[in-house]
Amino acid sequence: MAYDIDPEQSVSIVAIFLFIDAAFVGFPLLSSIVNGAVFPIVPLLLVVGLIAAGVGLLQGRQWAWWLAMTVIGVSALFNLLAFNLIGLLIDALVIFLLTRPSTRARFGVR
């Protein structure tokens, strides 16, 4: 028997982690912009994607599932390059929750 989590709880947990991840990427980004650094477009796009995915998931939008998987993949890549193990664990948890059969079914993803 496969262990499956309630999809509504999974979506809420994932959205919270996406918003927290956006804050952890966004605050240093904001600090660097205020300090006059070069405008970093990739981290800005990552923050916007994380927030949009979180909001879309909470609204039950199918595109948000795909966006969440994409931005979490990018986030995992950055965490891997930075040797951020806690970030990698959180990204792995998000991917685990999004790929549960009931969660995928909720968003109509095969």
pLDDT tens by residue, 6-46 = 888 899 999 999 999 999 888 888 888 888 777 788 888 99
User: In the structure encoding, which two tokens stand for residue 64, read together?
Assistant: 């948000």
Confidence of residue 3 (pLDDT cuts 50, 70, 90): low
CB 68 within 8 A of CB 18: yes
Return the minimum-mean-pLDDT range out of 24-33, 43-52, 54-63. 24-33
Across the chain, what does the average pLDDT equal?
89
**CA-to-CA dists, residue 53 to 10, 16, 83, angstroms:** 14, 11, 24
What are the contacts of 45-53 at 24+ separation with CB within 8 A? 46/71, 46/74, 46/75, 46/78, 47/22, 49/74, 50/18, 50/19, 50/21, 50/22, 50/25, 50/75, 51/18, 51/19, 51/22, 53/18
Confidence of residue 89 (pLDDT cuts 50, 70, 90): very high
Report the C-alpha gap between 21 and 52 in whole angstroms. 12
- Higher-pLDDT residue of 105, 36: 105
Note the pLDDT of residue 2. 60
CB 8 within 8 A of CB 14: no
Q: Averaged over 34-61, what is the pLDDT? A: 90
Note the pLDDT of residue 1. 47
Note the pLDDT of residue 6. 84
